[in-house]
C-alpha cells in the first residue's frame, strides 16, 4: 500500500522555514556570506536568503522553504520529506534559537531504488523516436540497461540510468512519455550521470550535454552524418552542475578534450564558460 500524507501535514510542512530548519539540524552546512545571505558548505553555488528563498546556481533550480530543499537538494521523495518535517515540529518562520542537534532527527539519505521496469519498452521507444532519436542508439541503450520503461499511476515513463565504473546503477531520472513530467529517483547520487562510453577505450574526447535526451540527439546526429556514433565519450550532466563530469573525468584519465554541447541559452552559455575556466585551470 502506498504511503500517504494528509492535506494538513502537507500544509504544515510547507510552512517550515529553511533557515530555521538548517540552523537546528544542519548548522555545519550554513556559511554566512552577508547580512541576509548564506551559502552551503557542500555546494558553494547553493545560496539561501534569510527569507527562506534558495537558488542553486550551478543547477539552475531554486525554491522556498525546507520542503523544496529536502526534495530537490537532499533527494528525498515528497512523502518522506513531508513526514520528516512534521515529525520535527519546527515552528514556521521562527527566529533561530541555537540548540544541540538531536541524533533522532538526523536525515539519512534514502537508499537508491530504481522503479520496476515494464516487460517491454515500446512506449519509450515510440516517444524517443518522435523526439528524433535513432532506433539503433535506443536498442543499444536498452540492451545496456541504461534506458527502460516503467509505469506509475497508469502513465508510461522513460527511465535514464546512471552507472558507476563497475556497471552498478547509482542514479536514475524519469521523463514522462506523455506531458511534461520529469523527476529524479530518491537516493540518486548526482555524480553518476547518464553516460555512454566509446568503443575505443583510449579515446581522449568527451562530448558533454545537459540532459540524457540531448546526449541521445547528439549521438543521432553523428549517425546521420555517417560517423561512428560511439567514437567519443558521451556525458550528460543532469542539469548545470559539475559533479557528474568531475566524477567521469576522474574515472577516465585518458580524456584530455571536452566538446561542450550545452543549450544555446544564457544559462547554458554562462555555464559553458565556467566549465571552460574550471577544466583549463586543471590542465
Residues 130-152 have pLDDT tens digits of 999 999 999 999 999 999 999 98
CATH 3.90.580.10 fits 7-105, yes or no: yes
For the full predicted model, state whether its pTM sits above 0.75: no
Q: Dihedral angle at the C-alpha atoms of 240, 10, 170, 262, nearest 10 degrees?
A: -20
* Least confident piece of the model among 88-97, 169-178, 194-203: 88-97
Q: In the chain, which residues fall in CATH 3.90.580.10? A: 7-105
Region 221-236: mean pLDDT is 97
Residue 100 has pLDDT above 50, yes or no: no
Contacts of 123 (CB under 8 A, 6+ apart): 149, 156, 177
Predicted local confidence at residue 3, as pLDDT: 60
Residue 181 has pLDDT above 50, yes or no: yes
Predicted local confidence at residue 106, as pLDDT: 41
Predicted local confidence at residue 109, as pLDDT: 54
Q: What percent of the chain lies above the pLDDT cut of 90?
A: 43
Q: What percent of the chain lies above the pLDDT cut of 70?
A: 90
Question: How far is CA 224 from each of CA 22, 134, 137, 218, 227, rounded to the nearest angstrom?
Answer: 50, 9, 12, 10, 7
Average pLDDT over the chain reads 85
Residue 154 has pLDDT above 70, yes or no: yes
Q: What would you report as the CA-atom Rg of the chain, rounded to the nearest whole angstrom?
A: 21
Cα of first residue to Cα of last residue in the chain, in angstroms, is 53
Q: Regarding predicted confidence, which is higher, 191 or 58?
A: 191
Region 261-278: mean pLDDT is 88
Residue 180 has pLDDT above 80, yes or no: no
Q: How confident is the model at residue 37 (pLDDT cuts 50, 70, 90)?
A: confident
Amino acid at each position: 500500500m502506498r504511503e500517504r500524507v494528509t492535506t494538513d501535514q502537507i500544509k504544515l510542512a510547507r510552512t517550515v522555514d529553511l533557515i530555521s530548519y538548517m540552523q537546528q539540524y544542519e548548522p555545519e552546512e550554513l556559511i554566512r556570506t552577508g547580512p541576509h545571505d548564506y551559502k552551503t558548505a557542500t555546494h558553494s553555488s547553493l545560496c539561501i536568503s534569510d527569507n527562506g528563498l534558495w537558488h542553486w546556481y550551478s543547477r539552475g533550480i531554486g525554491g522556498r522553504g525546507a520542503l523544496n530543499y529536502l526534495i530537490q537538494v537532499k533527494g528525498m521523495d515528497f512523502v518522506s520529506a513531508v513526514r520528516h518535517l512534521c515529525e520535527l515540529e519546527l515552528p514556521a518562520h521562527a527566529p533561530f534559537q541555537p540548540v544541540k542537534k538531536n541524533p533522532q532527527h538526523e536525515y539519512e539519505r534514502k537508499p537508491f531504488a530504481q522503479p520496476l521496469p515494464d516487460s517491454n519498452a515500446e512506449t519509450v521507444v515510440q516517444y524517443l523516436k518522435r523526439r528524433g532519436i535513432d532506433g539503433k542508439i535506443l536498442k543499444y541503450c536498452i540492451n545496456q540497461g541504461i534506458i527502460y520503461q516503467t509505469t506509475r499511476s497508469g502513465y508510461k515513463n522513460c527511465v535514464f540510468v546512471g552507472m558507476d565504473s563497475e556497471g552498478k546503477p547509482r542514479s536514475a531520472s524519469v521523463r514522462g512519455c506523455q506531458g511534461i513530467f520529469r523527476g529524479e529517483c530518491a537516493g540518486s547520487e548526482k555524480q553518476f550521470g547518464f553516460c555512454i562510453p566509446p568503443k575505443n577505450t583510449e579515446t581522449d574526447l568527451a562530448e558533454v550535454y545537459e540532459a540524457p535526451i540531448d546526449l541521445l540527439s547528439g549521438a543521432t546526429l553523428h549517425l546521420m552524418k555517417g560517423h561512428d556514433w560511439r567514437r567519443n565519450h558521451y556525458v550528460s550532466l543532469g542539469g548545470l552542475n559539475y559533479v557528474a563530469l568531475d566524477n567521469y573525468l576522474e574515472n577516465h584519465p585518458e580524456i584530455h578534450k571536452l566538446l561542450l554541447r550545452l543549450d544555446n541559452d544564457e544559462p547554458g552559455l554562462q555555464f559553458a564558460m565556467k566549465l571552460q575556466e574550471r577544466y583549463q585551470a586543471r590542465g
